[in-house]
């Protein structure tokens, strides 16, 4: 016979009471959390993506704000091509038959294109110097296709910057300028320009390096390096941060075939600001404060010989007797490691830091001297132009005829790319087949003595040339070498 029995519970009365309490606690916890979630729901909703751009993480809002401030620049330059018979282009025949075989060539128009950025709503535009160099006519085409004739209000060939002015009937969209020192390697950037003349184009990338000196980039300053695609026609265009600020002017690329390979260079925006300050102060180019010293980059080998922990900074090889470096207490053998807290790794970085400073202010230099580190206060001032250049073309009647000479000074030397420490009278130009040319003189030669008389100025030189004996000696300095020749009248 089968017997059924009720299944007996394994809980006794006490255990059953505890289980009921646990279930009640869980129900309370669930209801409490639900209420808290209801209260904080609006805060989470505010942070949630609310449109397509936010969901797609698009750069479209930045481009929409920045692109109207980026313009196309077209230049025209008249040139007369050589129309010389190839047979007579040989230098031998040119010497003996000058002018023979030459026909008047027709005038030709050379057109070029580039980009620019509106930085002030009244029509101030920044671009590259090489975009508008030697142009007879400059046209600016806005994003809305309006065209304006532009004039150059300031330029600096060494920095490859130029400022243009147009006269619009109303305010223009201007791109706000950022700060170079706020950049970090890895920051997202956009490059906006007109590559190959196909129309405004936007590319994206990151900051690849800072304070870079690129191969083939002809400047004594440093650049921003980016992998955002920059191609011919992008020159003068904008390098923009992810928050829509202009932080660079695209200027050059490293390439093997003419196109972008991900190594582009942009001029830091702080240098543009310095040029604008200089122009507003009545200048025509970038005002460059001078250090007043000859320097060289500290290499690993040099750092080891000096006793530095690592290769950093620039070494002072000589200090100008009347320069700011001497006034700041610097000496030969000192190493400048930082300017206003920014580390210096080469002379290009030093030039950049001085160039972006404001004239009349002072810069704090971190200086290493024989194992001791101290701070020096350097006054930011322009190199002096005393004596005045007094540029003079020497006329006929003596062996230096055909030479154009000028007085040397730190300011003049900086403008012409000569040795800042050079003094006396320098030869600027030599006319071909002139007496000075036949004598073998070259541009950059410094005339030191004539007929046993020291020459310190153009006035002394011209006076000496009118008092020459029948036999006299000319002495020059050529790149540190002393050369001389005896001349008969």
- Enzyme catalytic residues: 130, 160, 235
Cα(285)–Cα(422) distance, integer angstroms: 23
Task: Determine phi and psi for 243, rounding to 5 degrees.
Answer: -100, 10
**Reading across the β-sheet that carries 147-149, which strands appear in turn?**
147-149, 137-141, 70-80, 107-120, 124-127, 161-165, 151-156
Q: Which run of H or E residues covers position 410? A: helix 410-416
d(CA 488, CA 472): 7
CB atoms within 10 A of CB 309: 8
Radius of gyration of the chain (CA): 34
Please report the DSSP string for 71-123 in residue order.
EEEEEEEEEE---B-GGGGSHHHHHHSTTTTB-PPPEEEEEEEEEEEEEETTT
Beta-carbon count within 10 A of 263 CB: 18
Q: Which of 168, 162, 164, 161 is nearest to 143 (CA)?
A: 168
Distance from the Cα of residue 34 to its chain's centroid: 59
DSSP 323: S
Could you please report the per-residue DSSP string of 214-237? -TT---SS-EEEE-S---TT-TT-
Residue 131, phi then psi, degrees to nearest 5: -70, -35
Dihedrals phi, psi of 90, to nearest 5 degrees: -65, 130
CA atoms within 13 A on the CB side of 40: 6
Residue with tokens 């989470």: 44
Dihedral of CA 164/167/173/174: which sign? positive
């Amino acid at each position: 016979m089968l017997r059924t029995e009720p299944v007996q519970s394994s809980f006794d009365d006490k255990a059953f009471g505890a289980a009921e309490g646990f279930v009640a606690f869980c129900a309370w916890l669930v209801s409490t959390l639900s209420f808290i979630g209801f209260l904080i729901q609006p805060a989470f909703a505010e942070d949630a993506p609310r449109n397509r751009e936010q969901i797609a993480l698009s750069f479209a809002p930045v481009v929409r704000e920045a692109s109207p401030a980026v313009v196309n620049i077209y230049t025209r330059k008249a040139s007369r091509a050589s129309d010389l018979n190839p047979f007579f282009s040989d230098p031998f025949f040119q010497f003996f038959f000058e002018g023979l075989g030459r026909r008047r060539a027709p005038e030709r128009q050379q057109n070029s294109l580039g980009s620019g950025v509106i930085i002030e709503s009244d029509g101030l535009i920044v671009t590259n110097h090489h975009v508008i160099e030697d142009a007879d006519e400059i046209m600016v085409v806005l994003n809305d296709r309006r065209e304006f004739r532009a004039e150059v209000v300031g330029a600096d060939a060494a920095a490859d910057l130029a400022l243009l002015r147009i006269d619009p009937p109303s305010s223009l969209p201007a791109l706000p300028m950022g700060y170079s020192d706020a950049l970090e390697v890895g920051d997202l950037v956009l490059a906006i320009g007109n590559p190959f003349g196909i129309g405004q184009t936007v590319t994206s990338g990151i900051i690849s390096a800072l304070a870079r000196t690129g191969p083939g980039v002809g400047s004594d300053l440093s650049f921003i390096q980016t992998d955002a695609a920059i191609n011919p026609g992008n020159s003068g265009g904008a390098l923009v941060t992810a928050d829509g600020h202009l932080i660079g002017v695209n200027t050059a690329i490293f390439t093997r075939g003419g196109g972008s390979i991900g190594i582009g260079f942009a001029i830091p925006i702080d240098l543009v600001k310095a040029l604008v300050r200089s122009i507003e102060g009545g200048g025509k180019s970038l005002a460059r404060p001078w250090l007043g010293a000859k320097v060289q980059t500290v290499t690993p080998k040099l750092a080891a010989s000096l006793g530095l922990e690592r290769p950093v900074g620039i070494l002072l090889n000589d200090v100008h007797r009347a320069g700011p470096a001497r006034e700041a207490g610097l000496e030969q053998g000192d190493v400048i490691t930082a300017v206003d807290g920014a580390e210096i790794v080469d002379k290009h970085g030093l030039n950049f830091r001085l160039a972006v400073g404001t004239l009349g202010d002072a810069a704090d230099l971190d200086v290493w001297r024989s194992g001791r580190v101290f701070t020096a206060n350097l006054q930011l001032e322009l190199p002096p132009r005393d004596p005045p250049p007094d540029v003079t073309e020497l006329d006929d009647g003596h062996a230096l005829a055909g030479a154009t000479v000028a007085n040397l000074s730190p300011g003049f030397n900086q403008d012409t790319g000569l040795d800042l420490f050079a003094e006396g009278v320098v030869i600027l130009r030599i006319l071909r087949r002139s007496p000075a040319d036949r004598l073998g003189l070259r541009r950059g030669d410094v005339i030191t003595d004539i007929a046993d008389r020291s020459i310190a100025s153009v006035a002394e030189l011209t006076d000496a040339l009118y008092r020459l004996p029948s036999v006299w000696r000319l002495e020059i300095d050529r790149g540190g070498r002393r050369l001389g020749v005896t001349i008969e009248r």
